[in-house]
Amino acid sequence: MSGMAGHRPKVSFVMATHNRRAVVEHTLARLAECGLPREAYEIIAVDNASTDGTADTIAPAVDTLVRLSRNRGSCAKALGVDQATGRFVVFLDDDSYPRPGSIDRMLDRFEDDSQLAAAGFTVHLPDGRQEGGALPGVFVGCGVGLRTDALRAVGGLDRSFFMQAEEYDLCFRLVGGGWRVEVFDDLHVEHLKTEAARRTDRTTYLDIRNNLRVAARYLDEPYFEIYRLETIQRYGWLAEREGHTAAFRRGLRAGEWLGVLERWRYRKRRLKAEAIERFFGWGFVRSRMAELAGAGVERIVLADLGKNVYAFYQAARAVRVEIAAIGDDRFAAYGRTYRDVPIVTLAEALRMDADAVVVANTSAVHAARTSDHLATLNAPSVHCWFRSDAATRPELATIH
């Protein structure tokens, strides 16, 4: 499209696609409803070597089309950023689009806070559920606005990740660079998540490989070794459940090898204590667990084996509160334990003699989902510390 020549738009929408012509056509049509006048934004699409005619079909509907000779995954968006001229970049998947009015509100957020580098959107799925990052403030890559100068200052999206965990890598670099990242409840994106997006061997391989790389790059001791082992255990169990054990082993070998290299290469980028607390919340969880102990709670069950469950485990040990079990239907298996704590179904956990239930998830979205489910089971004394309607900062929430 030639109408953009000589004009700098406010926003550059950037997406990558591969052999999903009908999906990306639908997304591009919905972008016209974003609420901005057409001259205020540009659309940049990166085609990952599609063979179904995607590139030729969408070319007339975008301002810039980057054609690749091989598939470089969702991180191919980095090549789109190279072409972006907007003051702000909005990352979308080829099946996600913002709700009307959200982009205007995003721009207001950036104008109000000069240190804000990333404004994450609340992500809505077709079944009415929401999608969110496992750590507070970590955005989902299918809906986030980024200050272009900040994105480029920290090196942009790391193309070597292909997909999986690239959001954590980028969030940590932005915060390490002195910027702020937030997720906002008044910014909304629809994510269609088609069947083609279901988990595959490749997803399993990249999950373990890339999460190990993130830990090696940014975490000092004791966090590094703790979360390295947590990552191996968690993704090993997921791979076993999905029948992807061979892919997990390949990813583990690759992640360990790359982790050794990148731990040295990124040694000056370790997160400082303030950022560690911002993302992992050990101190926050310990203070809330101490409140429980002070109120006379001696024995609890944890609901959810969240990605950051260690924050709850170490907090309970620190204040001498016993964990009777962890209730999680996805991970429950005969004889399985987490650091000597049995992992059972949620129904089994609720039948145990415990003084309280603590939702062991630092994702606002997943914590809310679990606490809502516990309410339907009439579970007494449920404590959900990361449930927040704003999804931007932890709040103490108790359901009786």
Does the pLDDT value for residue 178 go beyond 90? yes
3-state secondary structure of 3: coil
pLDDT of residue 1: 45
Question: How far is the CA of 378 from the CAs of 22, 381, 383, in angstroms?
Answer: 44, 9, 13
Strands 180-191 and 116-124: parallel
Categorize the per-residue pLDDT at 291 as very low, low, confident or very high, splitting at 50, 70 and 90. very high
pLDDT of residue 6: 59
We find that the CATH architecture of domain 11-194 is: Alpha-Beta Complex (3.90)
Closest residue by Cα to residue 43 from 61, 26, 29: 61
Bridge partners, 143 (sequence order)? 92
Q: What is the pLDDT of residues 64-111, one digit of tens each?
A: 999 999 999 999 999 999 999 999 999 999 999 999 999 999 999 999
Q: What is the rounded CA–CA span in Å between residue 187 and residue 144? A: 9
Q: Does the global pTM surpass 0.95?
A: no
Categorize the per-residue pLDDT at 3 as very low, low, confident or very high, splitting at 50, 70 and 90. very low
Q: What's the CA dihedral at 138, 139, 144, 149 to 10 degrees?
A: 20
Q: What is the pLDDT of residues 121-175, one digit of tens each?
A: 999 999 999 999 999 989 999 999 999 999 999 999 999 999 999 999 999 999 9
Fold of 281-399: Rossmann fold (3.40.50)
Give mean pLDDT, residues 299-312: 98
Domain boundaries, the chain: 11-194, 201-275, 281-399
Q: What is the rounded CA–CA span in Å between residue 223 and residue 390? A: 28
List the alpha helices (DSSP H) in the chain: 21-31, 54-58, 77-81, 102-112, 148-153, 166-176, 201-218, 223-242, 245-265, 273-280, 282-294, 310-318, 346-350, 364-376
Q: What is the pLDDT of residues 4-39, one digit of tens each?
A: 455 789 999 999 999 999 999 999 999 999 999 999
